[in-house]
Amino acid sequence: MTERLNGKTAVITGASTGIGRAIALRFAAEGAAVVVNDVSETPLWGGTEPTAEAIAAGGGQATFVKGDVSVAADVDRLFDEAKKVYGSVDIVVNNAAIFDATSVLETTEESWDRLMDINLKGQFFVAKRAIKEMMEQEPVNEVRGRLINVSSQHGMVGPPDFFAYAVAKGGTVNMTRQLAVDYGKHGIIVNALAPGRILVRHESDEIAAAEDDTIAYSQSRTPFHRLGRPDDLTGPAVFLASEDCTYVSGQNLLVDGGWMAY
């Protein structure tokens, strides 16, 4: 690796499994000290070794902080621990989310509230505390910090029967623009990383997954010859977190295999 994040501290939510885990491992390989946050330390799939332990086993620096992003006190404790252990918060990846695929008529009040609590209110709590910490830091090469919200291609279109999820991710897209506009003058860079259809399953389940109607639709809709993998997000995330990203802010970077190209 190039050690493009050497000396930086990165807080990553939802980092025990999937996209968050892949980004955490890559950031550590690039030299960052990583604060891993999730509601459980154990991965839901893709191995049994917790993310922070995997980073440490590879010679990197990592700390796990358990917490639910929809609880403001948990978010405060996450950032307090990051500052206590590493002294600064240079990069935040606002990734924690849950997934639901229902039409408006199928969406219950309970499922709406739970999805919005995590996918949108949780991102608000994390973004607010991230901005607060970064505002108190001295700029390094004109930048006080970098916030990366994880949105989705579904936040930019009206995907069939993804009502609450698409509404929440649309909120993330505009939250990113708003924060970039409000805090650019303070040297804070804010962007969103927008995954396309990512197979977040055990490798052994991919054959079964290909038989699922929604995945078959995604394959037919994606110009690239395969669907995405969590590792596909790591290179773009490193760019947004690194000093190569100096005059790019307020953007929703699509990593979707060309889905949104037509």
Residue 262 among the catalytic residues: no
114 in Cβ contact with 165 (< 8 Å):
no
Report d(CA 228, CA 67) in Å as an integer: 28
209 vs 46: CA distance, rounded Å: 15
Q: Which position among 86, 165, 183, 262 bears the catalytic label? A: 165
Closest Cα to residue 245, out of 71, 91, 36?
91
Give the residue numbers marked as catalytic: 165
